[in-house]
Amino acid sequence: MGLALLVVIWLITFISTYFFIAKTWWLPAGVSAAAAGIDRQFAFTYVVMGVVFVLAQCSLGYFVWKYRDRGKAAKAEYSHGNTNLEVVWTVLTAILFVGLNLMGSRIWAAERFEPAGDGALKVEVTGMQFAWYFRYTGPDGKFGLTSPKLMDPSSGSEAAIGLDTSDPAAKDDVVTGTMFLPVNRQVDLTLRAVDVIHSFFVPNFRFKQDAVPGLAIHMHFTPNEIGDYEIACAELCGLGHYKMHGMVKVVSQEDFDKWLTAREAEKQ
């Protein structure tokens, strides 16, 4: 029985670890400025935790087998512990865990303590059951007014978020169901939700933020590779949560400008 436990615990340990090391399933390709740092911190945390995991599980399996009751009059060692050992591993764990935390916090600070830079592209994201809408300011650089009374989800786009067309600043606002972003330009995101909490999750950007009714949450990120990326809702928002899905198209600045101009023209 002791041997069986040793074999099973070791097998579970090595098989689990194999899939991590082989990266059979891993973080998707990171295509934002912050992704590399987050991935490095993830990999480092993984190595540290992986070593502790393998050591702890292997010793557990080994001790169970090595010190199994062999039926003879073998007596266990009479010991209530070892204070020095305990102090050593307590201090080591404390240093390890707090150190790991401080390393990662630099990335967090860069992402969330500072507002977006001056040249950032303003985009407002609105979540509602069960769709995402994206609003661009148009040439005036300002978002126009919206009103809850004007919201009409069945009409989509501008009407869905209740854009108040009597406001001059709203006239050139563009609202879409697919997010277009120029590559290598910082995005100054404003997140809103009209009904329940949603969460704007783009795995490739290593970006996630809840959109909360009553709050306008400001975030920023910089996509750095042209391509199409999926948005998934990451906060349970009702029966259609699984299909609250959208796309981000990261294009060149030139293509982005062309697209925006075309959308402006459509509105007129």
Partner 1 sequence: MADGTGGGETIMATSEIAHAHAAPQGFIRKYVFSLDHKIIGIQYFFLALTAVWVGMILSLLMRIHLIWPDANLPLIGHIQPETYLSLLTMHGTIMVFFVLTTAPQGGFGNYFLPIQIGAPDMAFPVLNMLSFWTTFVAFVVMIAAFFVTGGAPLHGWTGYPPLSAIQSTGPGEGLGADLWITSIAIFCAASLMGALNFITTTLDLRAKGMSLMRMPLTVWSWFITAILGLLAFGVLLSAGILLLMDRNLGTSFYIPLVVVNGQVMGHRGGSPLLWQHLFWFFGHPEVYIAILPGMGVASQLLSTFSRKPIFGYRAMVYAMLAIGFLGFMVWGHHMFMSGMSPWSAFAFSILTMCIGVPSAIKTFNWLGTLWRGNVRLYTPMLFAIGFVSLFVSGGLSGPFLAQPTLDIPLHDTYFVVGHFHLIMGVAAIFGIFAATYYWVPKMFGRMMNETLGKLHFWFTFIGTYAIFMPMHYLGMAGHPRRYSQLTEVAYLHPLIPLQRFISIAAFITIGAQVIFVLNLFWSIFRGPKASDNPWEATTLEWSTSTPPPHDNFGGHTPVVHNGPYEYGVPGADRDFVMQADPAISPHPAH
Tell which positions 150-189 bind partner 1, by CB under 8 A: 151-154, 162
Whole-number minimum distance, CB 132 to partner 1, in Å?
Answer: 13
- Nearer to partner 1 among residue 109 and residue 262 (C-beta): 109
193 close to 238: Cβ distance less than 8 angstroms: no
Whole-number minimum distance, CB 5 to partner 1, in Å?
Answer: 7
Q: How many residues bind partner 1 (CB under 8 A)?
A: 100
Q: Is 80 exposed, middle or buried (0-12, 13-18, 19+ CB in 10 A)?
A: exposed
237 close to 196: Cβ distance less than 8 angstroms: yes
Cα 255 from Cα 188, distance rounded (Å)? 19
Q: Which residues ranging from 75 to 134 are in contact with partner 1 (CB under 8 A)?
A: 75-83, 85-86, 89-90, 93-94, 97-98, 100-101, 104-105, 107-109, 111-113, 128-129
Using alpha carbons, select from 186, 192, 203, 194 the residue that is nearest to residue 246.
203
Q: At what angle are helices 35-66 and 83-112 packed, to 10 degrees? A: 160
- Nearer to partner 1 among residue 245 and residue 267 (C-beta): 245
Whole-number minimum distance, CB 123 to partner 1, in Å?
Answer: 17
* Residue 209 within binding range of partner 1, rule CB under 8 A: yes
- Identify the residue among 133, 179, 241, 260 touching partner 1 (CB under 8 A): 241
